[in-house]
Amino acid sequence: MLISKRFPLSSSNSIGDPCKLIFCLFCIFLNSSGYFTSRISQILTTVLVQLPITMTLLLTLFQTLNLNQYWYSHSTTLILSLFIISTVTWLYFFKPKPQNLPPGPSGLPFFGNLLSLDPDLHTYFAGLAQIHGPIFKLQLGSKLGIVLTSPATAREVLKEHDVVFANRDVPAAGRAATYGGTDIVWTPYGSDWRKLRKVCVVKMLSNTTLDSVYDLRRNELRKTVAYLYGRVGCGVNVGEQVFLTVMNVLTNMMWGGAVEGAERESLGAEFREMVAEMTELLGTPNVSDFFPGLARLDLQGVEKRMLALVPKFDGIFERMIGQRGEEGDNGKKKDFLQFLLNLKDEGGDSDHSLTTTQVKALLMVCFNFLLLVLFCHFPGEMVALL
């Protein structure tokens, strides 16, 4: 027998090497329980592979234990009985229950539909909707995705059942970039998320708060006009200046920082490198997101690179928070940073109080929002910048 030759057991009257016996029993359990079989090929594997292997292992076990002739002559019946009992037990207790899932395209084992995705997802999903209907599923590695292409269904999911679908699967890069997913984007639905939402929507982005930073926007626009006036008779890259103006307005609204002087023509090599790397990491398809079992390995190194990048931003945030703490709130600062620090200083059981980590996570969200705005309105300038 192949297995008895590959893993020889003692043929003497003694039981033999205990390690070999334990290994034999372990192999019997694995093969009879279907541990290494997939749901797709379970029946075929059981009939063609598991049964012969299980019979071989049990026969070898009987020979090793040197059982009497009666039991050895009835070994086939005993093997079949044990095999049937173990298979039925596994199917009844451990087999995954069928789920009522929508239809979808068939995928490859292990990979699912990952390798068949088209870069133009909107046209790809539209084509699948014509085949499978307005609701269909995609198996993305070990993750199951449901696609809605009907406006009525999307409205029902996003409005009527919003609480059910509120939580999001946090990608590895997003978790590393937002201090463990403590920002409003990735925080699970609950009291913390409601507090952050109230801070962002009701407080930070309300009309009153936006009106309070009107002077910041007006002053930055005046600086741009003055810069252009000073360049009379010289060539000016209008697109680059508009890009820098928008960036300065948004950063001024967030923490009062602006790019001035020589930095108006160059944002600085360090800042460009940080922006480029973060944008790349957040947009990189990551194996760890599709196969959570492999997340600890970080095969692509995305999480490692993001964890090395975040301290650079964290240093900027800490420096700004420290400087603002030394200056104190004298009523002159009207940016988002001061607003968040005021909420942080409330402390106690206030519905709006924030921790330092949440303040930095919200600043990181604002920074990512800045990148999104710039990419949407100035894609050419951002590509040239990065």
Torsion angles phi and psi, residue 112, rounded to 5: 65, -130
Q: Which domain holds residue 133?
A: 114-165
Distance, in Å, from the CA atom of 295 to the CA atom of 170, rounded to the nearest integer, reads 12
Segment 179-186 mean pLDDT: 81
Q: Is residue 100 part of a domain?
A: no
134 plus 261 within the same structural domain: no
The whole-angstrom separation of Cα 277 and Cα 270 is 11
Where among 42, 62, 93 does a domain terminate? Answer: 93
Supply the CATH number for residue 349's domain: 1.10.630.10
In the predicted model, is pLDDT for residue 5 greater than 90? Answer: no
Q: d(Cα 174, Cα 185) in Å, to the nearest integer?
A: 9
Please report whether residue 105 resides in a domain: no
pLDDT above 90 for 300 = yes
Both 226 and 367 in a single domain?
A: yes
Same domain, 125 and 270: no
- With a CB cutoff of 8 Å and minimum separation 6, the contacts of 135 are 102, 146, 147, 148, 149, 150, 153
What is the distance between the alpha carbons of residues 67 and 212, in angstroms, rounded to a whole number?
90
Integer Cα distance of 122 and 312 in angstroms: 36
Q: Return the half-sphere exposure (C-beta side, CA atoms, 13 A cut-off) of residue 256.
A: 12
Looking at the structure, do residues 152 and 196 belong to the same domain, yes or no? no
Identify whether residues 210 and 78 lie together within a single domain: no
141 in the same domain as 84? no
Count of positions (residues) in the chain: 386
DSSP state letter for 350 = -
Q: Are residues 266 and 158 in the same domain?
A: no
Q: Who has greater pLDDT, 180 or 376?
A: 180
Together in a domain, 61 and 158? no
Asked if residue 134 and residue 204 are part of one domain, the reply reads: no
For the whole prediction, is pTM greater than 0.75? Answer: no
Report how many domains make up the chain: 3
Indicate the Cα dihedral angle 99, 101, 107, 112, nearest 10°: -70
Which of 28-32, 72-76, 161-165, 260-264 is most confident? 161-165
285/374 same-domain check: yes
Q: What is the pLDDT of residues 197-214, one digit of tens each?
A: 887 777 667 777 777 778
- Residue 248 has what pLDDT? 74
Q: Evaluate if residue 46 carries a pLDDT over 80.
A: no
276 lies in the same domain as 374: yes
State which of 165, 181, 206 marks the end of a domain: 165
